Amino acid sequence: MYLRYKMKNFSHWLKNRLISDEEYSSKRFQKRFGFKPNFKNPQTFNEKINSLKLSNDCYKLALFVDKLLVQSYIRDLLGKDYLVPCLGAYEKFDRKLFDSLPEKFVIKGSHGSAMNYLVHQKKEVDYHYLKKLTSKWLAKNFYLHGREKAYRYLKPRLIIEELMEDEKGQPPPDYKFYCFNGNPKFIHVDFDRFNGHRRNLYDMNGKLLPVKYKKDIDFSKKTLSLDLSIFKETVEKLASPFKFVRVDLYLYKEQIKFGEFTFTPINGFGKIEPEIYDKKFGDLLEIGDDYSFFRQITQEKHALLKTDVR
């Protein structure tokens, strides 16, 4: 099973091996937005994300997008209480591991996005289904599917975490802060992810922005009842090293928990409507001449950023 998925990845790589990252991104961008992007002088948010994504400096982001490696960074920066308790990391999924797991847990791939599965009652989960699913994850090189260099050399692993859920058995809301030069400028919150998925964008005062970002808007939620200022210090500390990053956080039992860093939301191909907001968000992102996600920061303070996992 694992070999079959590896062969599929190899076929995908072989099919695109003569296409450069820039050509791939340009063709996909034009198909998505209907115009040819200018990666040398980008103007919109999506153009700028793609321009930054093409830089070799993105390999240094590996330490922050790897869901296992980043835990050490968060522990050193904020403390262990900001991490969702991790039950272990594994290179394969088998019956012995499955039997050892608690009745409730989350399993996710450490090396990419859209690889997570919530188990509310283990007795209702088919082991063979989970084995097949995780085998597919482990065989996947996320870089091959979107040319995001940060994921190219990550080691595939499975992370098991404690399941966070409220009294109704639902996961806590995921607050995604879009940060520019270390400062959060707006936030997106997903509602009803498993039943009529909606996505709202809010300013930092919790006021709904009239912006559709991939998903439809829930206009009934015009304001956030939550005071976003409680996240301010944490978000700014996490975002400080970067020109742009999306910082994903949970609020669980009145404790802030780190979710993940995202540097290329929707891989730079997420439609923003009205289109003027693609330009407005782009104006917030000053990419500079070095085309790097990193700000000018002291080597002593952030020596970890100099490390290359290749």
Q: What is the pLDDT of residues 120-145, one digit of tens each?
A: 999 999 999 999 999 999 999 999 88
> What six digits make up the tokens of 111?
């090396």
Q: What is the mean pLDDT of residues 60-67?
A: 97
Q: How many domains does the chain have?
A: 1
> What six digits make up the tokens of 113?
């996005």
The residue that leads in pLDDT, 251 or 1, is 251
Distances (CA, A) of 25 to 19, 28, 51, 206, 271: 10, 5, 9, 34, 15
Note the pLDDT tens digit of each residue in 246-261: 999 999 999 999 999 9
CATH number where 161 lies: 3.30.470
Note the pLDDT tens digit of each residue in 266-290: 999 999 999 999 999 999 999 988 9
Three-state secondary structure along 284-305? HCCCCCCCCCECCCCCCCCHHH
**Element holding 198 (H helix, E strand):** strand 198-203
Task: For residues 41 and 290, give the distance between their C-alpha atoms in angstroms, rounded to a whole number.
Answer: 13
Note the pLDDT tens digit of each residue in 176-214: 999 999 999 999 998 877 677 889 999 999 999 999 999
Q: Structural domain of residue 226, as residue ranges?
A: 2-306
pLDDT value, residue 223: 96
Task: For residues 7 and 14, give the distance between their C-alpha atoms in angstroms, rounded to a whole number.
Answer: 10
Q: Which percentage of the chain shows pLDDT scores above 90?
A: 80
Please classify residue 110 by burial: count the beta carbons closer than 10 Å to its beta carbon, then call 0-12 exposed, 13-18 middle and 19+ buried: buried
**Contact status, residue 217 vs residue 199, Cβ threshold 8 Å:** yes
When pLDDT is cut at 50, 70 and 90, the band that residue 4 belongs to is: low
The pTM score is 0.91
Distances (CA, A) of 124 to 65, 68, 119, 206: 31, 27, 9, 39
